Amino acid sequence: AFDLIRVPGHINSESEITVADADQITLVELKTTQKHLPECPRGFFFGATENEFDLARRIGDQYRFCFVCLHPESRGFHLLSLEELEGLIRTKRTQYQINL
């Protein structure tokens, strides 16, 4: 239900990270697009599972959605809490994925 772990003051090339306080850890769900989005994250289209939203509700400020735009003219990223994301959502629908 998350893609990255963010610990302030540390980088991913470290072979070992010691965290004194678990409240410093942020779980990050990564969403990417190559679409030109001059007002990123506005205009972003993405899929998300109910588990991602449940986890975000459960751990609050220690969970962020990260929207990354890879288009050369609007390259950048935005970290949003669930509350911030919900304030931007224009439409949301449920999709069932079924295996038989």
pLDDT, averaged in runs of 10, over the chain (100 residues): 90 86 94 96 93 96 97 97 96 90
Q: What DSSP letter does each residue of 59-96 carry, written as one string?
A: HGGGEEEEEEE--TTS-EEEEE-HHHHHHH--------
List, in sequence order, every residue forming a beta bridge with 5; answer none if it has no partner.
27
pLDDT of residue 14: 84
pLDDT of residue 11: 85
pLDDT of residue 12: 84
- The CA distance from 44 to 22, in Å, is 31
For residues 44 and 65, the answer to whether their CB atoms sit within 8 Å is: no
- The CA distance from 9 to 4, in Å, is 15
Q: What is the pTM of this model?
A: 0.89
